[in-house]
Amino acid sequence: MSGPLRVLQVASEAFPLIKTGGLADVVGALPGALAAEGMEIRTLLPLYPAVRQRLERAEPLLELGELMGGPARLLAGAAAGLALFLLEADHLYDRPGGPYQGPDGADWPDNAQRFAALAWAARALGLGALAGWRPDVVHAHDWQAGLAPAYLALSGLPRPATVTTIHNLAFQGQFPASLLSELRLPASAFTIDGVEYWGAIGFLKAGLVYADRLTTVSPTYAREITTPAFGMGLDGLLRLRADRLTGIVNGIDERVWNPAADPALPAPFDADRLEGREACRQALVAELGLDPGAAPLFGVVTRLTWQKGTDLLLEALPHLLASGGALAMLGSGEPALEAAFREAARGHPGRIAVRFGYDERLAHRIFAGADAILVPSRFEPCGLTQLYALRYGAAPIVARVGGLADTVIDANEAALADGVATGFQFAPVTVEALIDALGRATALFRDRARWRVLQRRGMTRSLGWKARAPAYARLYRELLAERERGSAARR
């Protein structure tokens, strides 16, 4: 192979252009991280209005003709340091609202066509439609890109290697079988070994069947999803392909998440200068109208959904308050959960403060000002908030699942004695176990010297992409070497 290894990543979001969750953070960070490994990553995104607004440059590259109901073309562009391919298909993407839902919160009725089109554009690039840039690997993220490996495999043409990454198995992208030909899928692919899933077309399932390699975002989640409890109906397929499945923990963007130079914070700090952190805590307390006592100020930054276990936290609140703790929450999601937390805050002014909506800067201030961050998720592929908490000196208190299990070292006696503890884990994911962890954290918080050791340990761990990128680089290289061997054997 000559020149750098070329990867086309295909995704529906990329930070800072468009983001609804951790997926965007990963897609936005991988290209920079892998450039350091001598690889060239370009990202294919739909051209949503939010993306168009942020483009630094864009030029037409390739006409794709009629695509899922209207004209489409590819643009080459750049924004925020990312080299981009943009799928311009105004009938699919040029509308107000989010990437998956309209302003009314309902899924776009044509999501099947919207993301099949994205995958079809990836197919074109993968098959060499651009003379000057042909990828060695097409890397599809989540169900929205799931058809890309399928289209490439089903083309029957020489194709690049393919990878599908699962960021969250809960979102699978299932659509009626009647769309098969409209989505340009051959009838022969509608089988249990193909795109068929419970009588429907499964986009993520297709990605899991047809990609050469599968990854997910932590080793523990990689194991969990091969079991019925976490496999969301796809555990059988994942067991079959377990030898192709790897877990690679997400990194964090250390330029965005750096408490020593964070424009959202009232004072800078790091592991050796914790005075600034105290100033951040005081400012947060004042901003939210809190009046915590000597017990920890617990923070939460989350989507309010069943997955995130905030209902367990709601049940544990009386204990948290009884032990003197206070709570600062930033969340958005299910109206019933919002209402319950709003009610709790009303009943305990000064001890519970809640803010609803999506507020990136307040999220930073909570990580910098809270003593501990609660992540009671029922399942968590990787989780980023516990990593931000570690970086910002807030002890994560996490359910022992998925990436939470892989990234937080529990403050048990042995870990404390060795000075390796960074937070608190609890299992099983129940109110009782959460209350126990809150109690352990509150007790350790009183012992300031030991608390500082735990805090500093978390802050100084390497959590950036530099530590993670080699695992992706190895995966791509292995995959290509494997294909080389395969084609040599066929010759």
> Closest CB to ligand ADP among 369 and 383?
383
Beta carbon of residue 280, minimum distance to ligand ADP (angstroms, whole number)? 16
Rank residues 90 and 360 by Cβ distance to ligand ADP and give the closer one: 360
Residue 7 vs 330, nearer CB to ligand ADP: 330
Please tell me the distance from the alpha carbon of residue 399 to that of residue 420, in angstroms, as a whole number. Answer: 19
d(CA 202, CA 18): 24
Q: Give the number of other Cβ atoms within 10 Å of residue 237's Cβ.
A: 20
User: Could you tell me where the DSSP H helices lie in 358-430?
Assistant: 360-369, 385-391, 402-407, 413-418
Toward ligand ADP, which CB reaches closer, 226 or 385? 385
What's the closest the beta carbon of residue 283 comes to ligand ADP, in angstroms? 18
Nearer to ligand ADP, 392 or 451 (CB): 392
Shortest approach of ligand ADP to residue 371 CB, angstroms?
Answer: 18
Q: At how many degrees (to 10) do helices 147-154 and 203-210 cross?
A: 50
CA distances (Å), 138 to each of 144, 148, 276, 295, 367, in order? Answer: 14, 8, 44, 50, 35
Which tokens go with 12? 């529906």
> Measuring CA to CA, how many Å separate 363 from each of 80, 201, 384, 399?
21, 37, 12, 20
Residue nearest ligand ADP by beta-carbon distance: 22
Shortest Cβ 272–ligand ADP spacing (Å)? 25
Rounding to the nearest 10 degrees, give the CA dihedral for residues 330, 332, 335, 338: 0
Q: What minimum distance in Å lies between the beta carbon of 183 and ligand ADP?
A: 27
Nearer to ligand ADP, 21 or 219 (CB): 21
CB of 422 to ligand ADP, least distance (A): 17
Query: Where are the alpha helices (H) located in 98-167, listed in sequence order?
Result: 111-126, 147-154
Task: Confirm if 211 and 220 have CB atoms less than 8 A apart.
Answer: no
Q: Whose Cβ is closer to ligand ADP: residue 303's or residue 477's?
A: 303
CB-nearer residue toward ligand ADP: 215 or 302: 302
Q: How many CB atoms lie within 10 A of CB 419?
A: 11
**CB 56 → ligand ADP: shortest distance, Å?**
24
Residues found near ligand ADP in the complex (CB under 6 A): 21-22, 25, 301-303, 330-332, 358-360, 363, 382-385
Cα distance between residue 251 and residue 456, in whole Å = 19
Q: How many residues does the chain have?
A: 491
- Strand partners for 302: 331
Q: Least distance to ligand ADP from the beta carbon of 91, Å?
A: 29
Q: Cβ of residue 362: shortest distance to ligand ADP, in angstroms? A: 7
Report the nearest approach of ligand ADP to the CB of residue 298 (Å): 16
For 287-307, b/e burial (b = at least 16 CB within 10 A) is bbebebeebbbbbbbbebbeb
**Coil, helix or strand for 192?**
coil
Q: Tokens for 472, please give them.
A: 């992706």
R_g (Cα) of the chain, nearest Å: 23
CA atoms within 13 A on the CB side of 381: 21
For residues 161 and 404, which CB has a smaller minimum distance to ligand ADP in the complex?
404
Candidates 323, 333, 346; CA nearest to 441 is 323
Q: Which is nearer to ligand ADP, 226 or 302 (CB)?
A: 302
Identity of the residue, 241 or 303, whose beta carbon is nearer to ligand ADP in the bound complex: 303
User: Using CA atoms, how far apart are residues 20 and 16, in angstroms rounded to an integer?
Assistant: 10
Shortest reach from residue 491's CB to ligand ADP, in Å: 44
Q: Are 274 and 260 spatial neighbours (Cβ–Cβ below 8 Å)?
A: no
Q: Is 324 exposed, middle or buried (0-12, 13-18, 19+ CB in 10 A)?
A: middle
